[in-house]
Amino acid sequence: MKSIHEIIIEVDKLVPIPQVMNQILAIAEDPDSTMSDIAEVIIYDPIITSSLIKACNSAYYALPRKVNSVKEAIMLLGLNQVIDFVLIKTFSAYMGKEHLGYGLNEGELWRYSVSTALMARDLAERKHASNKQFIFTASLLKDIGKIILDRFVSGAIEEIDDLILSNNYSFREAEEEVIGLDHAELGGIIAEHWNFSPEMTYVIRNHHMTDLSALEDYATSVVYLAEIAAMMTGIGSGTDGLAYRFYESVLEGLEITEDDLQETIALASEHYYDVMQLLSIT
């Protein structure tokens, strides 16, 4: 078992997220946020501003005139898409690298996280949830623990696999047994380190239903189900694959049918293409 202290030290070494991101995350968590709220934050960040304007003025949109301000960009893209753009663009720097301990090549964890987030928001929209942007964001960030735990998993993968195959452990349970903590718990620690809200931290920490009380939490349940759906498609499937517990009660509690899941997966594929097109411009 690795020293948990050794792992926590790695958290302190993480490059901090830009200060503007905590403001944007707060806006994403507030269902009453407005275009003016997000514009007032973004206009003071020259990198985000230039990326947005560049995207809007690309051939992808083929606008009859040039966009010259953040407010114009938000008017074009819409509030949710701008928040998506900023979050995905920022966190790709953390999640876009290879994570070979989990069997993921460069960019695979990031693409998987984006796909899962799109599915999570679609599931939330089907039930007319007021916090669908929060659910999207939590799903996008749920696996941040893997960016640090990756190298520890890499050195212990045989022990982890043995527990899964021989003792019927889930991948998360095997991580905790062999390493001392699992990627969901470490994700919660990183979320606290980055001053995420308690609600966001809770979802990240419990997205595999570590605490069974999370079965009663709407946002965590949607994020969990979206991840299961993504795993079923094979998107970004690494060494952990489908080696997790499936709680059928989540489906029942959310009143999500198999047809709903199939439609969600199909729509997420379409939206994923649009997101990739937009991001490739910047």
d(CA 254, CA 250) in angstroms, rounded, equals 6
**Is 182 in contact with 210 (CB distance < 8 Å)?**
yes
pTM, rounded to two decimals: 0.89
d(CA 142, CA 204) in angstroms, rounded, equals 5
> Is 273 inside any structural domain?
yes
Asked if residue 282 has pLDDT above 60, the reply is no
CATH of the domain at 202: 1.10.3210.10
**Is 185 in contact with 210 (CB distance < 8 Å)?**
yes
Half-sphere exposure of 5 (CA within 13 A, CB side): 0
> Is 69 inside any structural domain?
no
Q: What is the pLDDT of residues 90-137, one digit of tens each?
A: 888 888 889 888 988 888 898 889 999 999 999 999 888 888 999 999
> Is 36 inside any structural domain?
no
> Is 127 inside any structural domain?
yes
The domain total for the chain is 1
Q: What is the pLDDT of residues 216-260, one digit of tens each?
A: 999 999 999 999 888 887 776 677 876 788 888 898 899 988 888
Residue 233 belongs to domain spanning:
4-16+97-281
> Is 219 inside any structural domain?
yes
Tokens representing residue 212 in the block = 């069974």
**pLDDT reported for residue 84:** 87
At which residue do the structure tokens 């089907």 appear? 126
Q: What share of the chain is helix, strand, coil (3-state, %, to 5)?
A: 70, 0, 30
What mean pLDDT, rounded, does the chain reach? 88
Tokens representing residue 201 in the block = 């931290």
Nearest to 136 by CA among 102, 85, 92: 85
**pLDDT reported for residue 237:** 67
> Is 262 inside any structural domain?
yes
**Is 188 in contact with 142 (CB distance < 8 Å)?**
no
> Is 133 inside any structural domain?
yes
d(CA 178, CA 160) in angstroms, rounded, equals 7
Q: What is the pLDDT of residues 66-78, one digit of tens each?
A: 889 988 888 888 8
> Is 21 inside any structural domain?
no
Q: What average pLDDT does the segment 77-92 reach?
A: 85
